[in-house]
Amino acid sequence: MFHAFGKVLDANIDPKVGGSPQMVSLYSDGRTNVYGLSYFKTRALLGLDASTIMCPSAVEWRNENFERWDPTSGAVIADAQRQPRLGV
């Protein structure tokens, strides 16, 4: 789902749509999870530029493939499940 969403954003079909996706998980027991994203060399949290802010430890960070990502090192976390992105 994330890759399909990303492909639509990346296609630039509508000039009013684009930028880093905003991602939140909603669970049936009422919990939520906010994701920070490193999206093709940009860093965003809830759609806002996060390149100059300290990355909160309570936020789970993902890259453009939705792989777990370490904002401090800029690398995919060692035990993260790899998610290939085809056709981009």
- pLDDT tens for the chain, 88 residues long, are 777 787 788 788 888 877 778 888 899 999 998 899 888 778 888 878 887 667 666 788 998 888 998 888 889 999 988 887 666 5
- Answer whether 73's CB lies under 8 Å from 80's CB: no
CA distance 56 to 58: 5
- Answer whether 39's CB lies under 8 Å from 64's CB: yes
Question: pTM of the prediction?
Answer: 0.72
pLDDT at 88: 52
pLDDT at 46: 84
Phi, psi of 26 (to 5 degrees): -120, 125
**First vs last C-alpha separation in the chain:** 15
